[in-house]
């Protein structure tokens, strides 16, 4: 079973993965570790002189866009890899 919208499904998977990573980054303090605030860290890269809330919002937006883009890239690489493996397997079967 699959979906007809594989690109959208890959992008949604990337967004969900980013959400899970963000939540785990905030929850690390509960386990006695230091907090990983991905949103503010990314925002500080793009807007170093901005307020905390501006950095958080811009960083969050860039964090989610990065997650969707990297999910699409990994989907493309996996598809390319599977296609190459199928060709190699077909070539080996012909011999």
Residue range 21-49, pLDDT digits in tens: 888 888 888 888 888 888 899 999 999 99
CB contact set of 57 (below 8 Å; sequence gap of 6+)? 39, 43
| DSSP designation for 33 | S
**C-alpha to C-alpha distance for 81 and 75, rounded to whole angstroms:** 10
In the numeric block, which tokens belong to residue 3? 């979906």
Whose structure tokens read 């570790």? 33
Q: Domain residues of the chain, as ranges?
A: 9-94
CA-based nearest residue to 69, from 19, 13, 24, 5: 13
**C-alpha to C-alpha distance for 63 and 52, rounded to whole angstroms:** 16
With cut-offs at 50, 70 and 90, classify the pLDDT of residue 90: low
Mean pLDDT of 70-85: 83
In the numeric block, which tokens belong to residue 77? 């690489």
Q: Provide Rg for the chain, Cα atoms.
A: 19
> Looking at per-residue confidence, does 63 or 5 come out higher?
63
Q: What is the pLDDT of residue 68?
A: 92
């Amino acid at each position: 079973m699959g979906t007809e919208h594989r690109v959208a499904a890959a992008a949604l998977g990337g967004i969900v993965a980013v959400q899970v990573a963000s939540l785990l980054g905030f929850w690390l303090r509960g386990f006695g570790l230091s907090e990983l605030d991905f949103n503010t860290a990314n925002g500080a890269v793009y807007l170093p002189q901005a307020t905390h809330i501006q950095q958080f919002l811009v960083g969050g937006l860039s964090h989610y866009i990065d997650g969707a883009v990297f999910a699409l890239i990994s989907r493309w690489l996996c598809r390319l890899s599977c296609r190459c493996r199928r060709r190699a397997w077909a070539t080996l079967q012909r011999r």
